[in-house]
Structure 1
Amino acid sequence: MTPPVDPSLNRRKLRLALRKARESAGLSQREAAARVEWSQSKLIRVETGTVSVSVSDLRALLALYDVTEPDTVNELVEAARGSKGPSWWSRYHDVVSPQFAQYLGYEGAAHAVDTYHPIVIPGHLHTRAYAEALLAERGLTAERIGRVVDLRMERQERMLDGTGRPAATFVLDEAAVRRQIGGPAVFGEQLGQILDFAGRDGVTVRVLPFEAGAHYSTLGSFVLLRFPDDDDLVYLEHAAGSMTGGEDLELLARYQECFQTIMERALDETTSLDLIERVRQNLEAR
């Protein structure tokens, strides 16, 4: 059974279509907002996909932009109807920051997700036990750890087990492949799960060896989201989290180049998985 389209994806669809239609009509955001008697901030929120759009508001914009083709109008009306309501991560509102919520909306629409982490295994690949061991060192309550891990497991299922999932490339630093979070048993299970995921269609796992040297993101992890119909985005993972796209093309380009460099210096897939398997077997032999 195909799951319903998340409201955030419908908001994104409307965001792209309405921005393109406004630009084709030769109107600025200020001019368009004035014509339909909106505040400019309301139009900006619509075009950034942060709010849903009512059918009546949508029809007003489409009329202003001279979008009249019946199939296009009907498709966007259905998207407007589906743009209301909470996204799947809304029930984790107590552990999801606004920045990360925005990121999750984009991640769900990406056709490719490229991830690098220099210290630990990326969250997309975590086992429950590894995630719990990692979070236990942060001084969080058991309840909060459970909530964060539940979110992480559902996110993983949607990204790696669902239909229409993005192509996912993970570059793991050798340090992350050898750092025994949770002890030998927990870490061995984690490495086994990485090998399992690496065997799935559309999932690539590479290891950046110690001898690869320095690169632009030596000190921090990042995720690149790629889209066929929109600008790429980079999400920088730190305490507050931050996302960069078209508003800072220079920074985005740096991380795109960095990921290309990392891929060039990483071990190939077969050698990477052999290394992970050797580390896993060494843990079992102890």
Structure 2
Amino acid sequence: MATVRLVPTVRRRRLGGALRRLRNQAGVSIDTTAEAMRWDPSKVSRIENAKAHMPIKEVAPLLAHYGVTDQAVITALEGLAKDANKTGWWTTYGDVVADGYRDYIGLEEDAESAHIYAQGLIPGLLQIGAYAREIIAGTAPQLTQDDVNALTEIRKKRQAILTDASRPTGSLKLWAIIHEAVLHYRSAAYPSLMRDQLRHLLDMTELPNITIQVMPREAPAHPGMVGPFHVVRFPEPWPTVINLENIRGGYFVEGTDEVKAFESAFELIRAAALPVPGTRETIKKIMEGSPE
């Protein structure tokens, strides 16, 4: 297994970014902050850039300096400071986990819900192991077999958040809209692959926190035709994050206007997709035509 690189955790980056935004909103300079906190000015910059640890006991005084009195915000930032240096389970897999994927898993771990439009693949959180292994190997031919096995294992471990009620936000609430064409995939090496995968999708629709819709081939034009995306939501006060996927991995979109555009797009996609009962019937029909 590759050596794990020491990099700032996504929680530390989120904490630093939040503190920078609050400082800027308050109109306070780095030097003024450092003087008030009795820090070296470089410490403020290093914390905001995720290069230094933020002591939990100093979160409230720092926020008071910025004029933040909302207890929910203070508690949320203290919680993030507490967990900022914890490394996620995925770091044990080393460099096989690309930086963008590493960040996404970190966000997913803290998320309250995820709305996904999937155009070419079954979403990772809903994939069975055999499907995940075949898709990973086929879409990233440069990977070794060991890498494929590791990424398949990671994908399965991620799925624990769908049933882990002990998470601070409870089991992840997932709303996945999957294009019908994805359900007709055929595997030459594993003829019954899609039958097993489709049966798994039906099983997942039984969970109260999971909603699955199929986008029919004859659907009218909708924003999802431009490409797949994830809308990842968090408890207050954390902002929603958009994840866009491409052949090189993925990248994040933040900012109120950008996020609202994708949230609105998802609602239009949802309206164009089959309702849940129709989705189940479509999946069953396709499954019945799949090889045993």
* TM-score range relative to shorter protein: 0.7 to 0.9
- Please name the residue that 1:233 is paired with: 241
- Counterparts in 2 of 1:200 and 1:78: CA distance versus 1, 3 Å: closer
Alignment partner of 1:124 is 2:128 = no
1:41 pairs with 22, 27, 45, which one?
45
Alignment partner of 1:259 is 2:266 = yes
| Amino acid in the other structure paired with 2:225 | T
Percent of matched pairs sharing the same residue: 28
Q: CA deviation at 1:222?
A: 1.0
Q: Distance in 2 between matches of 1:71 and 1:266?
A: 37
- Counterparts in 2 of 1:216 and 1:26: CA distance versus 1, 3 Å: same
The superposition leaves residues 145-182 of structure 1 with CA deviations (integer Å, 9 ceiling, x where unpaired) of 0011011011012x212111221000000011112245
Could you list the runs of 5+ residues in structure 2 that have no partner in the other structure? 1-7
Q: CA deviation at 1:63?
A: 6.7
Aligned-partner SS, 1:189:
helix
- Please name the residue that 1:172 is paired with: 178
Q: Name which of structure 1's ranges 101-110 and 254-263 shifts more when overlaid on structure 2.
A: 101-110
Q: Distance in 1 between matches of 2:271 and 2:76?
A: 42
Alignment of 1:76-225 (within 5 A): 80-137=81-138, 138-139=140-141, 140-157=143-160, 159-163=161-165, 164-181=170-187, 183-225=190-232
| Amino acid in the other structure paired with 1:176 | V
Aligned-partner SS, 2:214:
strand
Alignment partner of 1:243 is 2:252 = yes
Aligned-partner SS, 1:169:
strand
TM-score by length of 1: 0.80
The superposition leaves residues 60-102 of structure 1 with CA deviations (integer Å, 9 ceiling, x where unpaired) of 6357457899999899667644432312221123222222222
Q: Distance in 2 between matches of 1:254 and 1:68?
A: 30
Q: Distance in 2 between matches of 1:78 and 1:103?
A: 19
Q: Distance in 2 between matches of 1:81 and 1:9?
A: 13
Q: Distance in 2 between matches of 1:120 and 1:53?
A: 40
| Amino acid in the other structure paired with 1:236 | L
| Amino acid in the other structure paired with 1:141 | T
| Amino acid in the other structure paired with 1:143 | D
Alignment check: 8 A CA contact 1:118 1:219 kept: no
- Counterparts in 2 of 1:60 and 1:186: CA distance versus 1, 3 Å: same
- Counterparts in 2 of 1:240 and 1:32: CA distance versus 1, 3 Å: farther
Q: CA deviation at 1:44?
A: 2.1
The superposition leaves residues 8-59 of structure 1 with CA deviations (integer Å, 9 ceiling, x where unpaired) of 697588568756864686525564356532335324225xxx8642347647
Q: CA deviation at 1:129?
A: 0.4
| Amino acid in the other structure paired with 1:169 | W
Aligned-partner SS, 1:116:
strand
Provide the aligned length of Structure 1 versus Structure 2.
273
- Counterparts in 2 of 1:76 and 1:258: CA distance versus 1, 3 Å: closer
- Please name the residue that 1:4 is paired with: none
- Counterparts in 2 of 1:107 and 1:79: CA distance versus 1, 3 Å: closer
TM-score by length of 2: 0.79
| Amino acid in the other structure paired with 1:242 | Y
Q: Name which of structure 1's ranges 20-29 and 215-224 shifts more when overlaid on structure 2.
A: 20-29
Q: Name which of structure 1's ranges 267-276 and 254-263 shifts more when overlaid on structure 2.
A: 254-263
- Counterparts in 2 of 1:114 and 1:74: CA distance versus 1, 3 Å: closer
Aligned-partner SS, 2:120:
coil
Q: Name which of structure 1's ranges 176-185 and 272-281 shifts more when overlaid on structure 2.
A: 176-185
